[in-house]
Amino acid sequence: MGVPLMNIQAQYAPLRAELDAAIGGVLDSGRFILGPNVSGLEDEVGARLGRPAVGVANGTDALVIGLQALGAGPGDEVITTAYTFYATAEAIARVGATPVFCEIDPVTYCLDPEAAAAAVTDKTVGLLPVHIFGHPADLPALRALADSKGLWMIEDAAQAFGATIGGQEIGTSGDLATISFFPTKNFPGIGDGGMVVCAHDDLAEKVRRLRFHGSKDKVVFEEVGYNSRLDDLQAAAIRVFFPHLDDWNAARRQAAAWYAESGLGEHMVLPGVGADCEHIYHLFMARHPERDAIRAALSEQQISAAVYYGIPMHLQPVFAHLGYSEGSLPVTEECAASGLALPMHPNLTREETETVTAAVATALA
């Protein structure tokens, strides 16, 4: 019996009747664009985080629109990490600004605040930390840095809804935070979807305008915006999932604990947890210099494992003009070369974690 990397169908199966009813409700209502489920979801997420939230078409647009709302553009530098999905850096470049890739913390894989501080120049306008793989970035240190230098901060929260640092939920420290409802995310939808969480109503108003062609009313157009709205069908499904998110995150944490108990740490470097942080293990990223051999051996036993961000952003061809080279970010490059995502999802069983650990041990014997 193999072990899949993720298992979306198992996660959704108990909710199938509720999903069918929610989708049927949208069909019956005929309100597909910015209907009651979008505003309902915005209210629910907003109430949880204590901030206004605006639904958009996907997590990439959330970043692009968020950056534009904060005024980022040509000539501006935005400090971020290279160990992330391309969308983070792409969004910065999309608005004409320059991503400045800084080193990560080797335990949490998130932006290192000291490296970020060292990278601030007179062109820096903001910080864009990523809560990568479900681990919160060091928000207290990064917020303090932003405040001391007069910068804004956007949290890329695509992979970590529900994670906490110092008891505070991620998504509540930045000027903005962006969410992705991509179906394999820990806070999923059943297609593309995203959200921008805003520190105050003025910013939320701007984001709302930008997602709708730069207009409040489709009559007067104030700026060049986007057609980037969260679908009501998506929002209806996400509202079915939202009440289960904390249980799903807890199940991921339990699976991570089972990996540790099964002795996986004797063979691979387990994902670390920073002080006072609650990880939600969107992905379970363990490390080993021979990760490709481990992956191949697991695959022979139908155990799925995957490499994420194996070419970090500073070494991607699209950013060659920025002048980074191999060795520019050694910690990032080491993680990118050794990281292997092992099966992780809310339905993973203790037996499956033991199966994976045994297979890793055999692969390295």
Ligand X SMILES: Cc1ncc(COP(=O)(O)O)c(C=O)c1O
Residues that bind ligand X (CB under 6 A): 58-60, 84-85, 87-88, 130, 156, 158-159, 180, 182, 192, 194
For residues 97 and 125, the answer to whether their CB atoms sit within 8 Å is yes
**C-beta of 193 vs 225, nearer to ligand X:** 193
**C-beta of 259 vs 309, nearer to ligand X:** 309
**What's the min distance (Å) between Cβ of 357 and ligand X?**
26
**C-beta of 163 vs 297, nearer to ligand X:** 163
**What's the min distance (Å) between Cβ of 314 and ligand X?**
16
Compute the Cα dihedral for 120, 123, 125, 127 and give only its sign: negative
**What's the min distance (Å) between Cβ of 216 and ligand X?**
25
Would strands 168-169 and 98-102 be described as parallel, antiparallel, or unpaired?
A: unpaired
In the chain, what is the straight-line distance between the N-terminal and C-terminal CA atoms, in Å? Answer: 21
| CA atoms of 332 and 270, how far apart (whole Å) | 16
Report how many helices (DSSP H) and strands (DSSP E) the chain contains, helices first.
13, 12
The angle formed by the CA atoms of residues 92, 97 and 103, to the nearest 5 degrees, is 65
**C-beta of 228 vs 262, nearer to ligand X:** 228
**What's the min distance (Å) between Cβ of 177 and ligand X?**
11
Token pair of 46 as six digits:
């907003």
| CA atoms of 252 and 364, how far apart (whole Å) | 26
Q: Which residue is nearest to ligand X (CB)?
A: 59
**What's the min distance (Å) between Cβ of 237 and ligand X?**
15
For residues 341 and 284, the answer to whether their CB atoms sit within 8 Å is yes
**What's the min distance (Å) between Cβ of 62 and ligand X?**
7
| CA atoms of 113 and 70, how far apart (whole Å) | 21
**C-beta of 161 vs 182, nearer to ligand X:** 182
The angle formed by the CA atoms of residues 241, 245 and 248, to the nearest 5 degrees, is 110
| CA atoms of 48 and 66, how far apart (whole Å) | 20
**What's the min distance (Å) between Cβ of 296 and ligand X?**
25
**C-beta of 232 vs 352, nearer to ligand X:** 232
Backbone angles phi, psi at 262, to 5 degrees: -80, -5
**C-beta of 249 vs 262, nearer to ligand X:** 249
For residues 194 and 55, the answer to whether their CB atoms sit within 8 Å is yes
